[in-house]
Amino acid sequence: MSEEIVGIDLGTTNSEIAIYRNGRPEVLADRNGRVILPSVVGIDESGELLVGEEARNQYALYPERTVRSIKRLMGADKTVRLADKDYKPQEISAIILKRLKEIAEAKLGRALRKAVITVPAFFSDAQRQATREAGEIAGFEVARIINEPTAAALVYEAAQHQRKRILVYDLGGGTFDVSVVRVEEGVVEVISSHGNNHLGGDDFDHKIVEHILEHLKLKQALDVSGDARAMARIQRAAEAAKKQLSDEPYARIEEEYIAESEGKPAHLALELSRLDYEEMISHFVEETLSAIHAALESASMTSSQIDEILLVGGATRTPMIRRRLHEVFGIEARGEVDPDLCVAMGASIQGAAIAGEEVSAVLVDVTPYSFGTSALSELNGELYPYCYVPIIKRNTPIPVRKSDAFQTVRDNQECVEIHIYQGEHEDALENIEIGEFRVEGLSKAPAGNLILIDLSLDRDGILHVSAKEKATGLERTITIDKATSRLEKDALDSARERINALFGEETPAPGEDAAIEGEAEGLIARARALLDTATAEDRDELVDLIESIGEAQATGDAAAAAEAIDRLTDLLFYLES
């Protein structure tokens, strides 16, 4: 067996170490189960070395004995002072790398020698050399230094056979980088890179904290900015609200007994909507889009030339970022592999490839279809009652729970009918309806009464749907079994009937088409059986073809159906052989 090579993401704020084993990359945790090591080094009062969280814990008290963000100094001809001694940046980085090595060796129970370390695409030769030296000081033989966007690309596509141009959008806690990457014949090349060293998810948190402080001042005449205990609670509450708003349209921020006001306990209670939050952070997001345009310009490319967008960094979980990227590029960004850990994973895939192992991209359990509901909105410039609103989008890792807010159309509307669809078409009627229910007894309210629809999909393909009147909490729920494997004949038939009815046509009696239908059904069943094992790209193609067949049959387009069947037959031949 060839020697194992670990992959390391040596970050500005946090670092991780991963190894490729049993056919997949695994990020290694310390004995407390933590996979993320803060990139902070310190010396405590008794002269003991501190690395990671412990060093970070003493930063406020002993900044003169603590170093953080050393990555920003890599390659510079400077030293940092730590407890009255001078250290080169690579020596400080080496301490972080050595701790990661210890974590990995403790976890695996054997010594490790070789590593692949990632660096930002914009790092100069001197910075790369300094990183290599840091690895060597830490006791590693540095097998390779690779770019962070390259590592991210490897996670999603280890084989790299197809020619592609990929945009890697990396928004971490405190830094933002965007890179245009070209992949061809197994070679990953970073064409251009742009970014901002001081922009990240922490800025989003600060905006929410400011909003909370403003709320306390206005509503309760309270200023808690000087109260360390209250501020720490508000900071945590802001972070939790930010995470909640990634999946839900509203977040309740409640902190009981947060302060005293006129000798009485004061509570913090406010609701933050995703819309308000997005308004707060929109200028940050727009700034990242400007950086993208700069990177595209440096690469002499336009947005239409990008084949794929990959999301890296925890802050990319913000739905607004995905939405804006979709608006600019017209394609869905991919972020199904944990964006906090995917660079380390990619580095470990590169390590395994250097060691001669057969490697593959990371496979994540994702939903092959989007799930959503229909609403009155504009379709092709006209008001249409069956506009499809996807709530759980295709390729989202499962299990997943997402919700969205809808409004009643009429004053005093007492009832809403909820239809749940599976599919991608903007016209809900072109998708497969998998469930419907009514919520009756809504309160008498003007039009715009908010209804929250919550979809929760588990690993077994069971979809739990709930619709709740926000004002009163009145709720109805349904459960849909095997939601991910639905594309049944009766559903197709009913879709076809609905479409034909719209065109004033009668559903044709089954005749010679029956044979083609039978063949299509067989193919679809075989294709479905392969969905779990196929690669992400093949899976996408399978799903597209299944849908094309469904659509062609529903509209009675025999030529389109035959073509889709031919293509699916070819793909199945390739995948099954």
Partner 1 sequence: MDQATKDALLDRFRSYLEGLGDDAEEPAHLDGETADLHSVFVEIAALRNEARAQSRLTKEAFDQFRGVFDTLRANGAALERELGEAKAREKEQSRALLRSLLLDIVDIRDRLAAAVESPPSAAPRSRRLPPPTPDAEDQMHRLGEKRAKTPGKLSAWLRRWLPPETEEDDPWREGLAMTLRRLDQVLAARRVLPIALVGKPFQPALARAVSVVEDETAADGVVTVVLRMGFTFEEEVLRPAEVTVAKRPPIAGRSDQGEYR
Residues involved in catalysis: 9, 71, 148, 170
Q: C-beta of 204: minimal distance to partner 1 in Å?
A: 19
Residues 461-520 that bind partner 1 (CB under 8 A): none
Q: C-beta of 29: minimal distance to partner 1 in Å?
A: 8
Strand-pair partners of 194: 178
Residue from 50, 253, 398, 416 in contact with partner 1 (CB under 8 A): 50
Residue from 23, 63, 441, 510 in contact with partner 1 (CB under 8 A): 63
Residue from 3, 64, 297, 460 in contact with partner 1 (CB under 8 A): 64
Q: C-beta of 49: minimal distance to partner 1 in Å?
A: 11
SS3 220: helix
Whether 4 contacts 355, CB under 8 Å: yes
Give CA separation, 146 vs 88, 117, 123, 169, 479, in Å.
22, 6, 10, 17, 46
Length of the chain: 577
Q: C-beta of 134: minimal distance to partner 1 in Å?
A: 16
How do the residues of the chain divide into helix, strand and coil, expressed in percent and rounded to 5? Answer: 40, 30, 30
- Cβ-based nearer residue to partner 1, 201 or 372: 201
Residue from 70, 391, 455, 564 in contact with partner 1 (CB under 8 A): 70
Query: Residue written as tokens 């030296």?
Result: 133
Q: C-beta of 62: minimal distance to partner 1 in Å?
A: 8
Stretch that binds partner 1, among 31-39, 276-284, 480-488, 516-524 (CB under 8 A): 31-39
Task: Render the burial of 492-517: b for 16+ CB within 10 Å, e for the rest.
Answer: beebbeebbeeeeeeeeeeeeeeeeb
Stretch that binds partner 1, among 129-137, 252-260, 353-361, 446-454 (CB under 8 A): 252-260
Residue from 6, 37, 67, 299 in contact with partner 1 (CB under 8 A): 67
The CA-to-CA distance between both ends of the chain, in Å, stands at 29
Stretch that binds partner 1, among 54-62, 292-300, 364-372, 494-502 (CB under 8 A): 54-62
32 scored as a contact of partner 1 (CB under 8 A): yes
CA gap 303, 320 in Å, rounded: 18
SS3 211: helix
Stretch that binds partner 1, among 67-75, 187-195, 215-223, 433-441 (CB under 8 A): 67-75
- Cβ-based nearer residue to partner 1, 251 or 320: 251
CA gap 213, 103 in Å, rounded: 40
Radius of gyration of the chain (CA): 27
Stretch that binds partner 1, among 42-50, 372-380, 405-413, 557-565 (CB under 8 A): 42-50
CA gap 381, 376 in Å, rounded: 12
Residue from 2, 3, 23, 81 in contact with partner 1 (CB under 8 A): 81
Going by C-alpha positions, the residue among 78, 176, 53 that lies closest to residue 120 is 176
Residue from 53, 426, 493, 519 in contact with partner 1 (CB under 8 A): 53
What is the per-residue binding string for partner 1 in 404-423, x denoting contact by CB under 8 A? Answer: --------------------
Residue from 1, 125, 264, 327 in contact with partner 1 (CB under 8 A): 264
- Cβ-based nearer residue to partner 1, 69 or 507: 69
CA gap 421, 1 in Å, rounded: 50
47 scored as a contact of partner 1 (CB under 8 A): no
Residues 188-247 that bind partner 1 (CB under 8 A): 198, 228-229, 232
- Cβ-based nearer residue to partner 1, 127 or 150: 127
Stretch that binds partner 1, among 53-61, 183-191, 297-305, 516-524 (CB under 8 A): 53-61
SS3 571: helix
260 scored as a contact of partner 1 (CB under 8 A): yes
201-220 and 228-244 helices, crossing angle to 10°: 120
171's CB contacts (< 8 A; 6+ apart) are: 199, 200, 201, 288, 312, 313, 315, 316, 321
539's CB contacts (< 8 A; 6+ apart) are: 368, 531
CA gap 341, 28 in Å, rounded: 10
Q: C-beta of 251: minimal distance to partner 1 in Å?
A: 17
- The residue ranges of DSSP E strands in 369-494, in sequence order, are 371-379, 382-392, 400-407, 415-422, 432-440, 450-457, 463-469, 475-480
**Binding-site size, partner 1 (CB under 8 A):** 42
What is the CA angle 97-103-104, rounded to 5?
Answer: 90
- Cβ-based nearer residue to partner 1, 45 or 566: 45
Q: C-beta of 53: minimal distance to partner 1 in Å?
A: 8
Residue from 82, 168, 310, 418 in contact with partner 1 (CB under 8 A): 82
Residues 343-372 that bind partner 1 (CB under 8 A): none
Question: Side chain identity at 15, as an amino acid letter?
Answer: S
- Cβ-based nearer residue to partner 1, 96 or 353: 96
CA 529, 533, 535, 540 dihedral sign is: positive
Stretch that binds partner 1, among 30-38, 94-102, 516-524, 553-561 (CB under 8 A): 30-38
Which residues bind to partner 1, rule: CB under 8 A? 29, 31-33, 42, 44-45, 50, 53-61, 63-70, 72-73, 80-82, 198, 228-229, 232, 255-258, 260, 263-265
